[in-house]
Amino acid sequence: MDLRQGIGLRKLGKTADEFQQDLLSNLYYRRGTTVESASARDAYETLSLTVRDRLAERRARTAAAHYASNPRWVYYLSAEYLLGAQLEQNLLYSGTGNLAAEAVKALGFSLEDLEDLDVEPGLGNGGLGRLAACLVDSLATRDIPAVGYGIRYDLGIFRQIITENGQTELPDDWAFQGNPWEFPAPDDRQTVGFYGHTEPVPGSPDRKVWVPGEIVLGEPSHMLVPGYGTDTVNIVRLWSAKASEASFDLSRFSAGQYAEAVQEAVRAENISKVLYPDDSTELGRELRLKQQYFLVSCSLRDIIRRFRLRNEDWSEFADKTVIQLNDTHPTIAIPELMRLLVDEYELDWSKAWEITRKTFAYTCHTLLPEALETWPVRLIEKLLPRHLEIIYVINMLFLREVGAQFPGDQDRIRRMSIIQEEPERRVRMAHLAVVGTEAVNGVAELHSKLLRETVLDDFADLWPAKFQNVTNGISPRRFIRIANPRLSDLITEGLGDDSWLRDLEKLAGLESLIGDASFRDRWQSIKRANKVALAAGDPDSLTDVMIKRFHEYKRQQLKLLHVVTLYQRIHANPAGDWVPRTVLFAGKAAPAYHAAKDLIQLIATVGATIAADPVASPYLKVVFPSNYNVTLAEKIIPAADLSEQISLAGKEASGTGNMKLALNGAVTIGTLDGANIEIRARVGEDNFFLFGLDAYEAAQARINGYQPRAFYEHDAELRAAIDALGSGAFGDVGHRVASSLLGWDEYLTLADYRAYLDAQAQVEEAWRDRDRWIRMSILNTAHSGFFSSDRTVADYAARIWRVAPVPVPHED
């Protein structure tokens, strides 16, 4: 048999009996155990392998189709992937849910029990990592040849425990018991250098030889990324750092110096040991820069290896390759590709620069100045000496171009330089990313506009066509089909089939069902059933959720002030006609972000005070489940009535939590920020509770000398809420939060407080008219189709990547 003709595989079982046979084979031959002694763990691992085999078969066909067509590839470079649990997703995408349920029952287990053993790989902090996961899902669903590259951190985002003492962090050793979803590929290992020095190459002024002072190995493993409703299976390839054999010091070991013998190896392997748990500030630690270069160096060599399987001529590289940089974390890829092309493959500088610029595209994810990455020149010089030289040349040539366009404008040159001079010399990674790429995009309309008008305005003057918007999206498979099966079934019934899962704009068809009272009733009963399943509070209360990372710009403090005011109002009038609410917070704070951790502790303490209060507790409950992650999000979102998206306008780049909640029929209360604006435009002004300053008013308020105390003094309810927090009843945290709000209030919480409470009053009025609320809920779902990441990927494919799908032939 010629294995290159087709993939030559024996068929995997399709019927329940055959599936069970495959499961048994895996139990015996791969897990090495028996039916009699199989533990739940054995059953979980065996089931996962059986499901994985079905995807692996599709993967083999995908690779054959890709190899045959030699297409243009999308390579997504991201320091984070927040993939979520794999078993349920892969059951759905392989269409084996029913077969699996039956088969594991025969082993004496329920599918739900086994799903509980499926640990999500927490290889990301929040929105940025989850976006990467949604985009790779949609790339496969759209049959686009793509590989996602990332780091296989041993320890993912910390596990969080909430008590009245606030947040405690525990290490997340997510693969401690093994991870059945990944395939190690040690043969594709790469060698990565650090430190050392450079030497000139006689007769070649552009080239240098870099002699690294430390060598680390990068070993890949990949996870399968199936498309939904198609045969394509792409991969995410994750790199682990390994010490080279030479780093074990046998002579020290023999001399009894055990710790010293392995210290070099430990240092090497620390590179992929832990995910940095900060999601919007950059600490500038050496190990972090090492992680970034490690990811980039391994991935670029792998990309080049793959290119050379089918191509020889470098002039085709940029036609066959587009590399998307997910934020600035992988930006060192720009000088790295230059180094590879110029120093190793001996292309001349201008040719290499043309290829490099055409190959990369950059997605910016922030507007916060503290989140814009810069690295000390000294550090790059020490760790990556050749890259610093290349960055200097790139900068010199770039500033010459600026000088030619804007003669004599020294100030502009200083602003645009890749090197910041004051107060210390640093490399501005966002500038490098704009200069070295063909396209730059923001992640929502407002964000892209503000990037052009503020953070990157000089660059937009120079290259207006380079700047684009691609509004973020979410995977409808994970965030409604898997998270909310009840609602998905109703939608499928209402629309006639489930093709909306691949074409989410079809949800608009729900609008015509709004007049049907029995449809509305079922919609409401499903929301109620989801609340019962969540078991967070009275299922008939208004379930008001704020779930996202803790950050002052997101303004959990504003929600807290609302809770305290409600509490005080109830106390002032216990017989009032109060709308019962369950306020649910979830989210982690960076371990070093003290103000955010204070807020978590204060919310937990206020929640406990309310719970112990017989007057308020019938109407108001605060719950704070620990350890917000994708798995928890999938439980909370289907139960939400009200979605809190209350960041200070101009600070949240897009948000994607807002999209997940709207898709599941939660109504948003929000500011004109990020994608909230686009959600409101689609679901309709009447189905969205808008409040607060807009981005321009917010910026202006700061310029005009914003005084939080003036708001405090003029608003008795606000004063009472802040006084209660600072009264001593909530200890030092209460004092710190109250005085931070009164002293500076960086994110204008007090300025928006009254507008927010007014909007919450409108929420309650709408809630009391239950029929009106259900209609609003249905309209939110019906008009969320735009926020599918399938649409996001189609936008990138058409406007930035210019790639076409490569269908994988279907086999029965």
583, 647, 578: which is closest to 618 by C-alpha?
578
Residue span 70-99 as binding mask against ligand PLP, x where in contact by CB under 6 A, dash where not: ------------x-----------------
Of 50-58, 455-463, 564-572, 649-657: span binding ligand PLP (CB under 6 A): 649-657
Residue 187 burial (10 A CB sphere; 0-12, 13-18, 19+): exposed
Residue span 600-629 as binding mask against ligand PLP, x where in contact by CB under 6 A, dash where not: ----------------------------xx
Q: What secondary structure, in 3-state letters, does 241-259 show?
A: EECCHHHCCHHHHHCCCHH
Site for ligand PLP in 23-62 (CB under 6 A): none
Choosing from 222, 548, 597, 621, which is the catalytic residue?
548
Q: Return the number of the residue (61 or 548) whose C-beta is nearest ligand PLP.
A: 548
CB neighbours of 784 closer than 8 A, spacing ≥ 6? 504, 507, 659, 662, 663, 679, 682, 683
| 72: annotated active-site residue | no
| 549: annotated active-site residue | yes
Smallest gap from Cβ 655 to ligand PLP, in A, equals 4
Of 122-130, 135-143, 210-218, 442-450: span binding ligand PLP (CB under 6 A): 122-130
End-to-end CA gap in the chain: 21
Q: How far apart are CA 532 and CA 553, in angstroms?
A: 32
Q: Return the number of the residue (82 or 679) whose C-beta is nearest ligand PLP.
A: 82
* DSSP state letters, 260-323: HHHHHHHHHHGGGTB----SS-----HHHHHHHHHHHHHHHHHHHHHHHHH---GGGHHHHEEE
Residue 121 as a binder of ligand PLP (CB under 6 A): the answer is no
Q: Return the number of the residue (42 or 678) whose C-beta is nearest ligand PLP.
A: 678
399 three-state secondary structure: helix
Choose which of 126, 156, 330, 692 interacts with ligand PLP (CB under 6 A): 126
Q: Return the number of the residue (426 or 660) whose C-beta is nearest ligand PLP.
A: 660
Q: How far apart are CA 142 and CA 696, in angstroms?
A: 38
Query: Structure tokens of 599?
Result: 């807020």
Residue 447 as a binder of ligand PLP (CB under 6 A): the answer is no
Site for ligand PLP in 531-550 (CB under 6 A): 548-549
Residue 127 as a binder of ligand PLP (CB under 6 A): the answer is yes
| 365: annotated active-site residue | yes
Q: Return the number of the residue (82 or 238) whose C-beta is nearest ligand PLP.
A: 82
Choose which of 494, 657, 670, 692 interacts with ligand PLP (CB under 6 A): 657
In one-letter notation, the amino acid at residue 611 is A
| 656: annotated active-site residue | yes
Which residue, judged by CB position, is nearest to ligand PLP in the bound state?
657
Q: Return the number of the residue (121 or 126) whose C-beta is nearest ligand PLP.
A: 126
| 11: annotated active-site residue | no
**How many C-beta atoms lie closer than 10 Å to residue 466's C-beta?**
17
In one-letter notation, the amino acid at residue 62 is T
**Cβ atoms of 107 and 492 closer than 8 Å:** no
Phi, psi at 169, each rounded to 5°: -110, 135
67 three-state secondary structure: helix
Choose which of 656, 740, 789, 792 interacts with ligand PLP (CB under 6 A): 656
Smallest gap from Cβ 654 to ligand PLP, in A, equals 7
Q: How far apart are CA 626 and CA 606, in angstroms?
A: 16
Smallest gap from Cβ 548 to ligand PLP, in A, equals 3
Choose which of 633, 653, 683, 774 interacts with ligand PLP (CB under 6 A): 633
Site for ligand PLP in 545-604 (CB under 6 A): 548-549
Q: Return the number of the residue (565 or 631) whose C-beta is nearest ligand PLP.
A: 631
Of 450-458, 495-503, 574-582, 651-659: span binding ligand PLP (CB under 6 A): 651-659
Of 125-133, 235-243, 306-314, 793-801: span binding ligand PLP (CB under 6 A): 125-133
Of 440-448, 482-490, 652-660, 708-716: span binding ligand PLP (CB under 6 A): 652-660
**How many C-beta atoms lie closer than 10 Å to residue 547's C-beta?**
20
Measured CA to CA in angstroms, residue 500 lies from 456, 482, 492, 667, 793 at distances of: 38, 14, 8, 21, 17
The DSSP code for 647 is P
Of 337-345, 458-466, 515-523, 656-664: span binding ligand PLP (CB under 6 A): 656-664
Smallest gap from Cβ 675 to ligand PLP, in A, equals 8
Q: What secondary structure, in 3-state letters, does 73-127 show?
A: EEEEECCCEECCCCHHHHHHHHCCHHHHHHHHHHCCCCHHHHHHCCCCCEECCCH
Smallest gap from Cβ 656 to ligand PLP, in A, equals 4
Choosing from 290, 320, 502, 549, which is the catalytic residue?
549
Q: How far apart are CA 647 and CA 521, in angstroms?
A: 33
Smallest gap from Cβ 447 to ligand PLP, in A, equals 12
Choose which of 630, 648, 666, 738 interacts with ligand PLP (CB under 6 A): 630
- Total site size for ligand PLP, rule CB under 6 A: 14
Query: Structure tokens of 239?
Result: 């790199």
Binding site for ligand PLP (CB under 6 A): 82, 126-127, 130, 548-549, 628-630, 633, 655-657, 660
Which residues are known catalytic residues? 365, 548-549, 554, 656, 660
